[in-house]
């Protein structure tokens, strides 16, 4: 019975656009655990015992929090499902400090990508164009790798159902559009009939594993290795953070205009709400200088910062 109730709850949330793949896997495991205990309802003691089996504090917190959400929904329909205590497993989502690429670092990455071998292959053109497109648009790497030829239109890139099942149009600057067209002309001469925009050495769809293998080489050749052995070097996802930060740096001065600007950036990035975009922001010297200038204007002339 509990398994059926879980599936009903997941179906309701998926109707709002959530994928919930990990939710389903974990909640089904809880349902099996509860069934082995002879229980058909959510009970706090059983939920705590199940979540306690997770390997790390973060996993225990996430698993239990999913049960908290489920229990609230089920309790509203049937009070035999217990409302679970908040904060039973403390833990917070860890946000790694993103690396905001400088223009010089971006240039080095693109040059290193263009030097990749083998000579005469499509690989250096694929990697340099792909990275340039990420810097120009802030696309998720999964979105860029999923692009099909028909998704490249005169109006921009059509990004099909990604997070929350959304499809959006990403307009391109003329320079980005020109660079992509040059790559596609070369790609059509070298590669056969594969429908994906970005292809691998064997002329098939470039997978994330194939991209990551080349990315690690490019990052090393660009001199952007981790600061110490075992450390975390700049990530490809940090390019998306960089795009969001640079977009904020170029926002208009007035507060009401900044709000509209950030809403446009959030839509461009494919976020469901502007708060998701704030996750990508990071202080930079330019941003702090702009804040200081706005405060100075406010105090000197009484203007709104």
Q: Which of 63, 125, 241, 271 is catalytic?
A: 271
Task: Catalytic residue, from 99, 125, 219, 240: name it.
Answer: 240
Task: Report d(CA 182, CA 179) in Å as an integer.
Answer: 5
**Does the active-site annotation cover 161?**
no
Beta-bridged to residue 156, according to DSSP, are 153
Catalytic residue of the set 43, 115, 163, 254: 163
* Active site annotation includes 240: yes
Out of 140, 187, 219, 246, pick the active-site residue: 140
28 is catalytic: no
In the Cβ-directed half-sphere of 127, how many Cα atoms lie within 13 Å? 29
Catalytic residue among 237, 254, 261, 297: 237
| Distances 27 to 31, 45, 295 between C-alpha atoms, Å | 6, 16, 50
Give CA–CA dist 261/281, Å, rounded. Answer: 14
Active site residue 163: yes
Residue 93: Cβ within 10 Å count: 8
Radius of gyration of the chain (CA): 24
Residue 196 near residue 206, CB atoms below 8 Å: yes
SS (H, E, C) 136-194: HHCCCHHHHHCCEHHHEECCEEEECCCHHHCCEEECCCHHHHHHHHHHHHHHHHHCCCC
* Cα–Cα distance measured from residue 96 to residue 246, given in angstroms and rounded to the nearest whole number: 19
The catalytic residues are 140, 163, 237, 240, 271, 280
């Amino acid at each position: 019975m509990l398994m059926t109730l879980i599936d009903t709850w997941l179906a309701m949330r998926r109707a709002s656009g959530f994928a919930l793949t990990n939710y389903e896997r974990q909640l089904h495991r809880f349902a099996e655990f509860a069934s082995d205990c002879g229980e058909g309802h959510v009970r706090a003691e059983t939920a705590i015992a199940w979540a306690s089996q997770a390997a790390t504090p973060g996993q225990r917190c996430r698993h239990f929090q999913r049960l908290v959400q489920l229990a609230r929904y089920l309790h509203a329909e049937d009070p035999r499902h217990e409302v679970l205590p908040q904060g039973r497993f403390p833990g917070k989502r860890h946000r790694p400090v993103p690396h905001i690429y400088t223009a010089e670092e971006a240039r080095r990455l693109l040059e290193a990508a263009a030097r990749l071998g083998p000579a005469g292959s499509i690989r250096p053109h694929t990697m340099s164009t792909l990275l340039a497109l990420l810097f120009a648009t802030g696309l998720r790497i999964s979105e860029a790798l999923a692009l099909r030829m028909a998704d490249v239109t005169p109006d921009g890139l059509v990004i099909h159902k990604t997070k929350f099942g959304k499809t959006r149009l990403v307009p391109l600057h003329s320079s980005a559009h020109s660079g992509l067209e040059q790559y596609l002309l070369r790609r059509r001469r070298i590669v056969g009939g594969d429908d994906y925009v970005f292809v691998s050495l064997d002329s098939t769809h470039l997978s994330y594993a194939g991209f990551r293998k080349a990315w690690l080489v490019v990052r090393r050749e660009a001199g952007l290795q981790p600061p110490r052995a075992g450390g975390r070097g700049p990530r490809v996802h940090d390019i998306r953070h960089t795009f969001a930060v640079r977009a904020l740096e170029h926002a208009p001065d007035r507060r009401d205009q900044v709000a509209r600007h950030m809403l446009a950036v959030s839509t461009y990035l494919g976020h469901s709400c502007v708060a998701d975009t704030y996750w990508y922001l990071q202080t930079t010297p330019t941003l702090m200088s702009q804040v200081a200038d706005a405060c100075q204007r406010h105090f000197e002339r009484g203007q709104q910062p």
